[in-house]
Amino acid sequence: MGKVGIRPDLRYNSPVKIVSWNVNGLRSLANNGYWESFLKGTKPDIFCLQETKASPEQIPEAMRSPAGFSSFFSSSQLRKGYSGVAIYSKVEPLKVIYGLGIREFDQEGRLIGAEFEDFWLLNIYFPNGGQGPERLDYKLRYYDAFLTFAEKLRKQKPVIFCGDVNTAHEEIDLARPKENEENTGFLPKERAWIDEVVAAGYVDSFRHFHPQTKDAYTYWDMKIRARDRNVGWRIDYFFVASEFMKRIKKAEIHPDIYGSDHCPLSITFL
């Protein structure tokens, strides 16, 4: 749904900015005024949202179809107000895909992808590993199924995937690594999957440009006001196929954008 875009140069030589954000509920953004500050503060050409917690008909028109963007949504089939992802783009994608094609993984509205002329963009809200061993097992199986899926698409053209991975990769990626060694989100078996992603030839774009930067996080626990003290986790990523990395000029985190327990992140490429 949406409008024909206004960026016909997306495939050419003008910088393109893609932004990713776990919004923790689109309807709350609509009510608290942070939607406008997000668009003005990040100025995206394409943006990917996770944990939208709403179907399109539940959000205002200005958010469902903002001026100049085409918009695409995938919502949970299991229950309303849960999970969900969306892609907004100033250029109409060649194709949009919904899910991995595996029923048990596609009922929660966790993946939406867009094909452009020279790359695939996959927007993912990976499962959280909390709520017991069964859910952790589900998360790990989803991880494996997703990487297989991405690699199939990569045979056609380079893949960029972004979103809430729900795991911090290295100790530098969270404020209190020692205290969280036995907690989901920093378990060795979760972190090992990110090692697999890197070994497969996907580059953690933020860490590529900022290899030693500390205290750079994308998520904070709101219950304990962790953002005020920057006691956070970097669990949101842009992973870029190595063959596309030469085009990436910048990767940033935007901690000054509020409205969620996560902040946006972005890449810019030519």
Question: Which pLDDT tens digits describe the chain residue by residue (270 residues)?
Answer: 434 444 555 554 589 999 999 999 999 888 888 999 999 999 999 999 999 999 999 999 989 999 999 999 999 988 887 899 999 999 999 999 999 999 999 999 999 999 999 999 999 999 999 989 999 999 999 999 999 999 999 999 999 999 999 999 999 999 999 999 999 999 999 999 999 999 999 999 999 999 999 999 999 999 999 999 999 999 999 999 999 999 999 999 999 999 999 999 999 999
Sheet holding 159-164, edge to edge: 95-98, 111-116, 119-125, 159-164, 236-241, 202-204
Q: Which domain holds residue 162?
A: 8-269
Structural domain contains residue 1: no
Structural domain contains residue 3: no
Structural domain contains residue 259: yes
pTM of the model: 0.94
The reported pLDDT for the residue numbered 34 is: 94
Give the residue from 216, 223, 127, 128 showing the smallest Cα distance to 174: 216
Structural domain contains residue 62: yes
Structural domain contains residue 2: no
Tell me the per-residue pLDDT of 54-73, one tens digit each, with 9 for 90 and over: 999 999 998 999 999 999 99
Catalytic (active site) residue 204: no
Structural domain contains residue 196: yes
Cβ-Cβ contacts under 8 Å for 67 (sequence gap 6 or more): 3
Number of domains in the chain: 1
The reported pLDDT for the residue numbered 33 is: 83
List the catalytic residue out of 9, 45, 164, 236. Answer: 164
Structural domain contains residue 133: yes
163 vs 127: CA distance, rounded Å: 11
Which domain CATH number covers 225? 3.60.10.10
Tell me the per-residue pLDDT of 183-234, one tens digit each, with 9 for 90 and over: 999 999 999 999 999 999 999 999 999 999 999 999 999 999 999 999 999 9
The reported pLDDT for the residue numbered 10 is: 56
Structural domain contains residue 235: yes
